[in-house]
Amino acid sequence: MSIAVIIPTYRRSQDLARCLKALQNQTRLADEVIVVVRDTDTETWSFLKAFDCKNLALRTTTVTITGVVAAMNVGLDAADSDIVAFTDDDAAAHPDWLARLESHYLADELVGGVGGRDWVYHGTDLEDGNSGKVGQVSWFGRVIGNHHIGAGEAREVDVLKGVNMSFRRAAIQGWHFDERMKGTGAQVHFELAFSLKLKRAGWKLIYDPQVAVNHYPAKRFDEDRRNSFNQTAFANAVHNETVALLEYFSPFQKLAFLFWAVAVGTREAMGFIQWLRFLPSEGLLAGKKLLASWYGRWQGVQTVISEQ
């Protein structure tokens, strides 16, 4: 099987250098490495011109639209391989990353997607932990990630994570990542929509903690800044999650999800009960998160209705 690795990037040349060097050290080299660069990103274009691409079948392609979805779709269209793998420019794959993910496709022709653990580093500090519950969507809509602390054996999941995911070309032929996802940068939950579409089509998604990358969360340049509250980014993430789940669920599940989301919710997408939980510690901020969550839910419902 042939493998393409697609890397969207924007103004993070030092991180990109680490990412590409990790791909040069793979025990199973990629057949294509496609770096997707914004047309205005002069820093990255200059870096790539000077980069020594030994061992890499490296090529670049240009995106003119903001947001990771547009970049990944450009990369998807440019790739020719049987397996299309994605990672972020601020990640560095373990040496056996491609060999391990390929083995799952070779072992089972019903496997449509494979991903694994991203070991998150904050500077030199590793965010450690172990969880057996990874990449799950409950029947009423609670999404559990934990890809960065997944442990145990390889198993089927509902959702893969963008920093470490791959897909069988035959399973996604003609597909694109959902362009309705809001945001101008990270566009949180874009992989949720894509993963659930693959599940709905009858393909298996495999999470294997041994299919691993190191992840060094880097600076973002859009409204969705890490570790800080932005009302627009918060609402956008909730919108994207809502669209993905409403399109996946049965009519009964949709009703259950909307009731649970408004009444209960989660820390990242608050409902009334979560607002009460965080009100003592966050005060007015909890109220802002609740309003942004409800607004994002409403926007998500409107997006889905407008498509019908």
Supply the pLDDT for residue 226: 57
> Per-residue pLDDT tens for 209-243?
999 999 999 776 555 455 678 999 999 999 999 99
Pairing relation of β-strands 83-87 and 125-126? unpaired
Q: Do residues 73 and 176 make contact, with C-beta atoms less than 8 angstroms apart?
A: yes
Beta strand 164-168 pairing with 111-122: antiparallel
Sequence spans of domains, the chain: 3-215, 231-307
Q: Which residues pair with 84 in a beta bridge?
A: 4, 167
CATH T-level fold of 3-215: Spore Coat Polysaccharide Biosynthesis Protein SpsA; Chain A (3.90.550)
Q: Which residue has 């060999």 as its token pair?
A: 99
Say whether pTM exceeds 0.85. yes
Q: What is the pLDDT of residues 52-83, one digit of tens each?
A: 988 899 999 999 999 999 999 999 999 999 99
Query: pLDDT tens digits for 82-123?
Result: 999 999 999 999 999 999 999 999 999 999 999 999 999 988
